Structure 1
Amino acid sequence: MGACQRQGLLLLLLLGASSLPLVQNIDCHEGILLSVEEDPRMLNWSAGQADRCDNGTACQESVLLIKAGNRTAVLSSKGCVTSDMMNSVTYIQHSPPPGIVTVSYSNYCDEPLCNKKNDFLELWNPRLDAIVSSDFRCPTCVALGTCTSAPSRPCPNGTTQCYQGKLQITGGGISSQLEVKGCSSFMGCQLMSGVLTIGPMWVKEVCPYESLRQSRRVENGGTSLPVSVWRLELLLLLLLFLK
């Protein structure tokens, strides 16, 4: 993916970024949310408690949302944070539709109880994949931990491969693994488009080699082979020629 295409996946909004001020023991909403939902917009993101932060820290609220098929994983954190970037909001669309959709949001602020967003209505509104292909199907699931099943589902037009990967998310009070499978419009192990931090959360993406070989069928009914397979075939032909 070229630089221009990758930039097209990222929507960054930094509002009033400044150096960390000397915050004096402010209170922040605190809590984590780990869930898989059909419609995350119906979730209540308000934290049930508040915490008094140390000097030099401020408030944060961060969330990662990943949709595969008709299910969406939600991993969110609210609490105190130490950072060089305060009064900043970041929204990123890591992987756009069609297929798997991934977005993240983080808000750093330095006013008492300012991490007060209580739903995902403004953050989550993926379009429906109305047109699907009858020829191209992928195992599809999203689950905390490991998928117990991954039914084969028809892929929407515009997708190019079957993605399969695991994310390890740590930080912000979260330590969790997420498994994702489904149709994708991006190539390779790029669910997060190379952005591996969401507020205080760190994301490690791991994909098995086999998932990178499952690409969309070409029009003549064959399958497109990865570059490594073509190289192997050329090497065999060269060896036969030399003999």
Structure 2
Amino acid sequence: MTATAAPLRVLLVDDHAVVRTGFRMILEAAGIEVVGEAANGADAAASASALRPDVVCMDVQMPGVDGIEGTRRIVADETLDTAVVIVTTFDRDDYLFRALQAGASGFLLKNADPDDLVTAVRVAAAGDALLAPEVTRRVIARFASPPPAEPESSTPQPSPATAPASPSAAPAVIPDLTEREREVLALVGQALSNAEIAQRLYIGEATVKTHVSNVLQKLGARDRVAAVVYAHRHGLV
């Protein structure tokens, strides 16, 4: 008899009980177990340490310790293997970028469809990253744009023939990656999931996950969002 996989375990963090109740109903209807609730970032970190959920769904604006600091504390705890998905009402760039810098694996708006919440939890639990469609382009634009030009100085500059290429002119071929890994990176840059990449390349989803893991390691990228930025910056997308 084949063993049944254990359900994903989620901690809900929001200072509004009605929101937590709504999220609980959505997730439990999809077979995801809600193991606890918290109302601020400090309680979230403590509950995550005690309950060890697979994923934390974290609000941002909460009394006391907010969701950004709560995310930072959870991600910094090396004893945990827990992903954090930010779920907020506010479509603000400062929240978005601070959350990503704190180590969040996803950023979702509360006006998203219920299915999007379920998908975000499953994607984060699988070790992938997910951004709301509304914010994906802003992340790419923010991190993939070339750095500002250096001020002119009296130091002689290299001739055009020997000057290093700018990030926007970086070669599409990345020597440290295999041909298949470059293909996977290009598709990650298009914000495709592992399942979608598997269908596109006619390979198994587990194989895609291995390729993505190898790509992140070789690029020194912390997560999938960083890989998306890298792919755009190097002209793979």
The TM-score range, normalised by the shorter chain, is: under 0.3
Question: Is the radius of gyration larger for structure 1 or structure 2?
Answer: 1
* TM-score, length of structure 2 as denominator length: 0.22
Higher helix proportion? 2
